[in-house]
């Protein structure tokens, strides 16, 4: 059985994303002045022309401003590396 974890720790989030060859990103169509838009993670093998890469500083500024938490899974049920994550409201 796989379990999920939740964190707001920037270092932990960054390590998880980078370990899976991901980069911080935002949905291009949701950008506004001084707001990068909806946060996402872009993985190297799953490029999307709808996502714009963000700096880690911009990503975490938006993450904190929106009061988000990072829900994620380290391993799949069969023991493989998981890429499951989502952004949720902080409790």
pLDDT at 38: 86
Residue 42 · residue 25 · CB < 8 Å: yes
Q: Cα separation of 91 and 26, whole Å?
A: 23
Q: For residue 2, what pLDDT band results from cuts at 50, 70 and 90?
A: low
The DSSP letter of residue 74 is: S
pTM of the shown model = 0.86
Give the SS3 label for residue 31: coil
Nearest alpha carbon to residue 20 among 85, 69, 70: 85
Tell me the per-residue pLDDT of 18-43, one tens digit each, with 9 for 90 and over: 999 999 999 876 666 766 678 999 99
Residue 22 · residue 43 · CB < 8 Å: yes
């Amino acid at each position: 059985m796989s379990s999920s974890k939740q964190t707001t720790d920037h270092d932990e989030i960054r390590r998880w994303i980078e370990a899976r060859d991901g980069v911080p990103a935002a949905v291009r169509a949701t950008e506004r002045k001084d707001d990068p838009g909806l946060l996402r993670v872009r993985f190297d093998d799953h490029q999307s022309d709808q996502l714009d890469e963000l700096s880690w500083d911009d990503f975490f500024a938006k993450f904190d401003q929106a009061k988000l938490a990072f829900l994620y899974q380290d391993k799949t049920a069969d023991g493989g590396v998981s890429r499951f994550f989502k952004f949720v409201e902080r409790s």
